[in-house]
Structure 1
Amino acid sequence: MKIKIITTVLLLLGLSTLVRAQEKTTSPEFLKYTNSKWVDSVMKSLTPKEKIGQLMFVAAYSNKGKEHEIEILDLIKKWNIGGLVFFQGDPVTQVRQMNMYQKQAKTPLLGAIDAEWGLGMRLDSTISYPYQMALGAIEDNTLIYNLGVEVARQIKSTGLHLNFAPVADVNNNPENPVINYRSFGENKYKVAQKSVAYMQGMQDAGLLTTAKHFPGHGDTNTDSHYNLPQINHSLERLNNLELYPFKELINAGINGIMVAHLNIPALDASGKPSTLSKAIVTDLLQDRLGFKGLIITDAMRMKGVTNNNKPGIVDKEAVLAGNDVLELTQDVAKAILEIENAVKKKVISQVDIDNRVRKILAAKQWAKLNHYSSTPSKELIKDLNSPKANLLKRQLVEASLTVIKNDDTIIPLKKLDTLNIMSISIGDTTKTVFQKSLSLYTKINHFNLGNNADAAIISTLKKEIEKHNLLIVGIHDSSAFPKNKIEFSKALTEFVENLPSRKTIVSYFKNPYSISKIKNIEEVKGIVLTYQDNNITQDIAAQLIFGGVSANGKLPISIGSKFKSGDGITTSKKIRFKYTLPEDAGLNSKILNSRIDSLVQQAIANKAIPGAQVLVAKNGKVVLHKAYGTHIYSDTTKVNLSNIYDIASVTKISSALPALMQLQDLNKFDVENTIDDYLPYFKGSNKADISLKQILTHQAGFSPWIPYWQKTLRKNGSYKWNTIKKDSSARFPLKITYNMWLHHNYKKKIFKAIKKSPVSDVKKYKYSGLLFYLLPTMVEKITNTNFVDYVNANFYNKLGATTLTYTPSKKFNNSSIIPTENDYLFRHNPIHGTVHDEGAAMMGGISANAGLFSNANDLAKLMQMYLNMGTYGNEEYISSKTLKQYTSVQFPENNNHRGIGFDKPYLTYKGENSNTAKDASKESFGHTGFTGTMVWMDPINDVLFIFLSNRVTPTRDNRKLYTLNTRTNIQQVIYDAMQ
């Protein structure tokens, strides 16, 4: 006994020096209601037994049916329990149940939940935000505060009032089985700062909070759910490290603190779990640290406290230790009986019980339960998954991504035309979201390896790797929670440990601690950490690698000896498209999505088009990218985002025009010169003295078009001998269809027809495509390079626009190419895989008038380069001076609204007859195409709009797309969504 007394005295002396003089703490705001009229009135209405009942919080589930509801109602009515802690289920049922339970409760119930990373931790159909370790990587704590505000909104929307969060444990043990990724990290200062930010966001939004797991569960290798962990640190260590975040939270005014089940000899030599220790709960937490808020036990059904402790008695011990709320007591009746007997025996005073109940009631009043009203559930799922809430999740993931290796600043990737890229997703045997998002930027060959991949499969894969000069590896985690382990086959382990380091980027979707278990991984050229594996982390990691987003995250923990806490390389600002939600660019997603969907579906229903692709970008962010309908009316093949369309006259601004602008910057071309300066063939013609600027602005008086194909026919309908044959040969090498081959010299006939075509003396706006048949030859003469090779090398390959191409059937299966018209006049076949425009077809499919094919995404890259005034992907293609010249109105005095090659808004808006939306700026520019396409860029509003369709199927006579005004109506929706 004497030894025990001495030990206790020494311990108390230690506790007296454990905490330095506290800063002035901010008392929890709810305490101002401790002696309010409402609390007084409730206290008067309660029997001693009912008061004890207020200390009890029991588990509730919204997925266990009526029998469970009856059990909860019985506890509420019989024992007047203080609150419910909700676990698995769905939000609508939870709201219904909570409303029912509140109606039956004599004293309003406090509803609590473990929602450390949002409601998704417990409820289906709700959002799971990043785990705290990922949040620990974020530099901007404003985002953590915003998370707190949003989580509070969502929890309150489901009828609850208290979140058992934040986790304030400093995780300095990589093998910690219970905290680990749930902690903000190993740096006590950052853990404290982020815990405070999260707490303040929740409390400012009207939610009660609870810091856990006091006095610090971060340095254990035992899970207190199954056993009692022991922490053998000194008082000084505990004071300086484990307790630090809790002290900061107390100073900041946190509502509650949850006490863990831990054996900490330095704080209590008796070996009691900290939950049952007066030395820890009362002497340390309340007296030394000055905490006056709610003290809540960790779950009283966990084996860390129940081992060797009987139900009821253990609850009494927790109350004696100084706890206010007993969370998930095993047996409410026994707990109340034991505490009631302790009061009768004066082991616990009634005043002490009353003070705790007053504290709980004060918290209820702060949560407005003194004026309780039922929680509505109408459109709850939609509200919980609002665009704002989802955008916050993306923002948090983006801010958390951490680049811990970036040799030669390989991230973001540059000079795409020099890269032959292969991706491997390890741990997932089907094409991943990561791989799909990588493919948004350029052509990539994708492969997958399961965790059990054998040597034979890997050997084959290594041969494929040799064909590529860049390897992007995604290492995935299929578990619900990020495991701190590697579960690869021996062959796969050896493969990962011997990746070709100088040409490999690794995106690591597993628990970052586990990367220390992979030999040589630090030798690769680039490493991105995402902290967990889901569709959003995969998507944004891919965007990071290509510069759609930048990296700012800092490693919140150390990874063995490979990487240290605080490591993290900031990458350059975004250089390519970011694929995101409309709200990220300041647009209303409801307006944008619903109204554009409606307009496209209207066009499909009216058979104006069988299908379409629509892309909208704002501020360089793709906020809508959708495919609609089918390839043709009589088919069930749905349009997907990778399908390519004949873009028709959009070719005019997508092929020779960018080449001419670039050549002008190189002083090899001048738009003020005349056509014969570059094509001597036209010297002495009626077009010789007309400037290219006049021609490109449709100001030259040229004929609109020439039906070249008609010149191939005799009067009896057969083809002239030197025009078209049914089979190919040296003389007839140009394929129009499988049974139509054009004479190799027919291009000269087209040039001759253009040369001989009339020119009007009246120089006013008159649309003509004739020059555009000549421009590829002009570019070839200036550059001494094949035209297609030139535009590929100088634009499409650099942009990563791999589907932006001529003669698509040479690269793609017809199943990927959207058909156009059933041509009964010239080709006598459905047009599929070849250009719709007859003249372009007779140029071998290569013209600047028409001939290009693309999907919306790849075409958008070129258009965004224009919108950026000549730059994209960290490269300048065209000077801003030249682009501004070409995209400006040239002859307004002649009522000509055109730019140089580009279409512009009419000088005066003409309502439904205008070529643009009402709100498109006068500085905007773009082009439309005969097949039903439109691209438009607005530099004032930084908006890009792309619409691809095949309205000419089955016939060009279908003009419903025009009469419905679908394209410009959709364009107007973008501006409406901005407002």
Structure 2
Amino acid sequence: MSKQTLLGMLGVVAMYCCTFSAVANQLGADIGQKLMLDIRYFCADGTPADNCRTPVTRLPEPLAKVIQRHNIGGVILFAENIQSVEQVRSLIEQLQTAAAAAGLPPLLIAVDQEGGRVARLPVTATSAFSGNMAIGATYEKHQTHYATAVNTAIAQQLNAVGINVNFAPAVDVNVNPLNPVINVRSYSESPEVVAQLSQAAVSALQSNGIISAMKHFPGHGDTHVDSHTGLPVVEHSRDVVERVDLYPFAMAIAAGDQAAPGMIMTAHIQYPALDNSVFTSVNGEATIVPATLSRRILTGLLREELKYQGVVVTDALDMAGISAYLTPKDALLHTFYAGADIALMPMPLRNANAIAEFDEMLAHINSAISANDKSAVSGVPTSKQMRQSAQRIERLKQCFLQQVSIASSATIEMPKFSRLAEQLAQASLTLVVGDPQFTLAKREALMLIMPDEARCQAQTDALVSREYQVLGCISLANQVVKSTLDDLIASADAVMIGDISPSHSLAEMGGMDDLIVWQNRIDKNEQLAWTNYALAAATKENKTRIFVALRAPYVIEQFAEYVDLAIVTYDYRVLQTEAGRPGGIVFDVIAEFLQGDIRAPGTLPVTLAPAKSPE
């Protein structure tokens, strides 16, 4: 869909621009348009904010009033907000109705729908596409085909429910095998490949009316700390930053038209080569300013050097990379001064007390900026800067937001792309170790070792449906009984081990609200120790040894010398089958490969180091 077509469809643009400009408190209106709220949970009964876990599936009146009172510009939805296609469409209509009733512009309704593990729409209603690194594995043979096809499908699915912003694609160049939060969310370790695939993704989303937000500027690919839980630092020289980290962003901006993203999301990462200035954190320590708070990076580099004219949105401000260092009001002032247009999730609004604190915070922000207009204060924006920023948001909305239908929808047809999801899983399957023509005879009995019970069932069912004999499956999420493991290995002809490395990140789970679950994850070192033990036992017993990297391929480095076959799927998600059992495309593809029905045509998008001896 062209920009002109979108402008033509937005019949409310002129009306809302006039209404918006007539707001008595222009600064207050501008501040509100620059906020994107998290409405994941809300407790009307006064439950303390930290304990509130009641999902917002219908818009509570207090939150509707917040939107209207503060001229809020957008919201972000999480999986908890999305129970079904009809329900989320209704929620979005309630949100847009609340904005329209106050004479406000349509809301930006955002979601993280990258594909792969970072996806918020229910997989039962959509299509479970493998993520970016799987697409990267297809690049050598298929170029940008899957980046375009998958993101076109995602755009159509988002359109079906009324979501208009996708915080995707992640264009981080994953050059660090220890990266805990990006890894398979990256297309490749090659800046050129990332640039090509990300431009195709952006074009596919935006030509279908979905605003794309490239992330995470200036690049999150060489970090070993998750910015949800700490403040990473990238020690690259300026030359390396330009050749690697910035390259996909610079190429997309230079490409213009639909390849230039409507939004770019900032990273809570220190880049001393770009800005080595310091600020004083809440604990009194001098800290190098992260990109989200850096005027040198967001204004000097992104705006002035790279000539980006779109909207800059922060990553979530509740992440520890920001919230551990600044109060919410100081974080807002600093990031607005730095040049961010939209502050994402400035503070959680979980109950009435939180709303009161939010009201007070915005009053403080308004006063600080108004005072700064009279007497300049370092780190505080002017009302003129806020107006210019709000105008960028207005232009983006005029270009992309269609008039929202307030009438209740009938049953909504969510387009599904099951065949495309299957084709991507097959095209990305990558052989790392072993004979390309490897097959496993059905007469050979298998025993499986999987990360958890759900994947045990999914892989077992996929193999049994193809008439393989599966003696049993050991779940590494449970307490492993050594004698049982030994007996299964001794009885089997082949041992197949599936591994998910690294462990889930907070971004995949949903965000900081999942911190406790994240902290209680299965111990990865213990799982790898059992993998070492099983491979040693299988080698001693002269069994066929099959290793499947269900996530990032780097884990194969530890075991390559001790397996007969190693393949990578880049995807490990389990879906519920019609029979109510765990299943999934990726497990079917593994079984198809072992049977010889398909080969592994994918190419590794990253480099693996020589294998290491098991401990």
CA–CA distance in structure 1, aligned partners of residues 36 and 430 of structure 2: 40
Aligned to 2:312, what secondary structure does the other structure show?
Answer: strand
1:57 is matched with which residue: 16, 36, 56?
Answer: 36
1:547 matched to 2:596: yes
Distance 2:172 2:4 in 1: 21
**Alignment TM-score, normalising by the size of structure 2:** 0.77
Q: Deviations over 1:34-66 (max 9, x none)?
A: xx8457524422331212211111112376258
Higher relative contact order (CA 8 A, sep 6+): 2
User: Does the C-alpha gap of structure 1 residues 455 and 160 become closer, same or farther in structure 2, counting only changes over 3 Å?
Assistant: closer
8 Å contact from structure 1 (residues 112, 163) kept in 2: yes
**Counterpart contact for 1:294–1:325, Cα < 8 Å:** yes
Q: CA deviation at 1:439?
A: 3.8
Per-residue deviation, 1:400? 1.4
Structure-2 residue corresponding to 1:191: 194
AA aligned to 1:529 is V
Cα distance change, pair 40–393 in 1 and its aligned pair in 2 (3 A): same
Q: CA offsets per residue over residues 572-606 of structure 1, 9 Å max, x none?
A: xxxxxxxxxxxxxxxxxxxxxxxxxxxxxxxxxxx
Equivalent residue, structure 2, for 1:784: none
Matches within 5 A, 1:357-368: 357-368=390-401
Once the 2 structures are TM-superposed, how far is the Cα of residue 101 of structure 1 from its aligned partner? 2.0
Deviations 1:393-450 (A, max 9, x none): 212211211111233x44245xx5xx73121210256863333333444553433223
In the alignment, what sits opposite 1:495?
534
Give the counterpart of 1:215 among 215, 218, 222.
218
Partner of 1:509: 550
Matched, 1:393 2:421: yes
CA gap of 1:317–1:463, structure 2 versus 1, over 3 A, is: closer
Amino acid at match of 2:600: A
* 8 A Cα contact 2:134 2:570, kept in partner: yes
Residues 328, 546 of structure 1: alpha-carbon distance in 2 compared, 3 angstrom cutoff: same
Report the CA distance between 1:291 and its aligned residue: 0.5
Deviation of 1:67 after TM superposition, in Å, equals 9.4
Aligned partner of 1:688 in structure 2 is none
For residue 475 of structure 1, the aligned residue among 493, 498, 508 is 498
**TM-score, reference length from structure 1:** 0.49
SS in 2 for 1:399: helix
Q: How far apart are the structure 1 equivalents of 2:363 and 2:252?
A: 32
Q: CA deviation at 1:104?
A: 1.9
Q: Is 1:559 aligned to 2:615, yes or no? A: no
Residues 544 and 194 of structure 1, relative CA distance in 2, 3 Å threshold: same
1:342 counterpart residue number:
369
Q: Work out the CA distance in 1 between the residues paired with 2:217 and 2:118.
A: 24
The AA in structure 1 aligned to 2:298 is V
Partner of 1:50, secondary structure, is: helix
Q: Deviation string for 1:77-104 (max 9, x for gaps)?
A: 2101111111222243322222112112
1:332 shift after superposition: 5.9
Q: Post-superposition shift, 1:475?
A: 1.6
Give the 5 Å matches for 1:631-642.
none
The SS at the match of 1:537 is helix
**Cα distance in 2 between the residues matched to 1:264 and 1:249:** 21
Q: Deviations over 1:376-405 (max 9, x none)?
A: 55333xx33x4x422222122112111112
The number of residue pairs the alignment matches comes to 520
Unaligned 5+ residue runs, structure 2?
A: 42-53, 278-287, 348-357, 509-521, 575-583
Give the match for residue 102 of structure 1: 96
Cα distance in 1 between the residues matched to 2:561 and 2:19:
63
- Which residue of structure 1 aligns with residue 561 of structure 2? 522
Is the contact between residue 401 and residue 528 of structure 1 (CA under 8 Å) also seen in structure 2?
yes
**AA of the residue aligned to 1:390:** S
Computed over aligned residues only, the root mean square deviation of the Cα atoms, in angstroms, reads 3.2
Amino acid at match of 1:115: Q
In 2, the alpha carbon distance for the partners of 1:118 and 1:181 equals 8
Q: Any idea what the Cα deviations from partners look like across 1:608-654, whole Å, max 9, x if unmatched?
A: xxxxxxxxxxxxxxxxxxxxxxxxxxxxxxxxxxxxxxxxxxxxxxx
Q: How far is 1:267 from its partner?
A: 0.9
Percent identity between the aligned chains?
Answer: 27
**Which whole-Å CA distance do the structure 1 matches of 2:498 and 2:343 have between them?**
42
CA pair 38-235 structure 1, distance change in 2 beyond 3 A: farther
The residue correspondences of 1:791-806 to structure 2 (distance < 5 A) are none
The answer to whether the 8 Å contact 1:27/1:292 transfers is no
- Counterparts in 2 of 1:160 and 1:308: CA distance versus 1, 3 Å: same
Alignment-derived partner of residue 87 in structure 2 = 93
1:287 CA displacement: 0.5
Amino acid at match of 2:303: Q
Question: Partners in 1 of 2:176 and 2:528 — Cα distance?
Answer: 27
1:71 and 2:62 aligned: yes
Task: Find the aligned partners of 2:81 and 2:367 in 1 and give their Cα distance.
Answer: 34
Q: Report the CA distance shift for 1:315/1:31 in structure 2 as closer, same or farther (over 3 A).
A: farther
How far residue 493 of structure 1 moved from its aligned partner, in angstroms, is 2.6
Distance in 2, matches of 1:120 and 1:308, equals 26
Q: Distance in 2 between matches of 1:288 and 1:29?
A: 31
1:74 alignment partner, SS class: helix
Match of 2:21 in 1: 44
Could you give the per-residue CA deviations for residues 689-745 of structure 1, whole angstroms, max 9, x where no partner exists? Answer: xxxxxxxxxxxxxxxxxxxxxxxxxxxxxxxxxxxxxxxxxxxxxxxxxxxxxxxxx
Alignment of 1:92-171 (within 5 A): 92-105=86-99, 106-107=103-104, 108-117=106-115, 121-124=119-122, 125-127=124-126, 128-139=128-139, 140=142, 141-171=144-174
Counterpart residue type for residue 89 of structure 1: N
Q: Find the residue that maps to 1:487 and give its secondary structure.
A: helix
Task: Return closer, same or farther for 1:332/1:154 CA change in 2, 3 Å cut-off.
Answer: farther
Per-residue deviation, 1:552: 1.5
Alignment partner of 2:422: what SS?
Answer: helix
Shift of 1:360: 1.1
Match of 2:405 in 1: 373
Alignment-mate amino acid for residue 224 of structure 2: N
C-alpha distance after superposition, 1:200-224 (max 9, x if no partner)? 1111111001011100111112221
* Paired residue secondary structure (2:546): strand
User: 1:274 maps to what in 2?
Assistant: 291
Deviation readout 1:793-850 (Å, 9 max, x if unpaired): xxxxxxxxxxxxxxxxxxxxxxxxxxxxxxxxxxxxxxxxxxxxxxxxxxxxxxxxxx
The one of 349, 352, 368 aligned to 2:385: 352
Aligned to 2:320: 303
Structure 1 residue 30: Cα displacement: 8.6
Contact 2:153 2:417 in 1 (8 A): yes
Partner-residue secondary structure (3-state), 1:312:
helix
> Relative to 1, partners in 2 of residues 1:67 and 1:543: Cα closer, same or farther, differing over 3 Å?
closer
1:447–1:234 distance in 2 versus 1, CA, 3 Å: same
- Alpha carbons of structure 1 residues 196 and 491: separation in structure 2 relative to 1, 3 Å: closer
TM-aligned CA distance change 1:163 to 1:303, over 3 Å = same
Change (3 A) 1:351 1:462: closer
Closer, same or farther: CA 295–543 of 1 in aligned 2, 3 Å: same
* 2:250 corresponding residue in structure 1: 247
Structure-2 residue corresponding to 1:260: 267
2:571 to 503, 523, 532: 532
> How far apart, CA to CA, are the structure 2 residues paired with 1:118 and 1:376?
31
Distance 2:291 2:170 in 1: 17
Q: Is the 8 A contact 1:179 1:218 kept in 2?
A: yes
8 Å CA contact 1:133, 1:184 repeated in 2: yes
Corresponding residue number in structure 2 for 1:877: none
Deviation at 1:373, TM superposition (A): 1.7
Runs of 4+ in 1 over 6 A off after TM superposition: 26-33, 478-484
CA distance in structure 2 between the aligned counterparts of 1:401 and 1:200, rounded to whole angstroms: 26
Residue 459 of structure 1: aligned partner: 486
- What is the CA-CA distance between 1:246 and the residue it aligns to? 1.1
Counterpart-to-counterpart distance in 2, 1:146 and 1:261: 31
Distance in 2 (alpha carbons) for counterparts of 1:260 and 1:274: 6
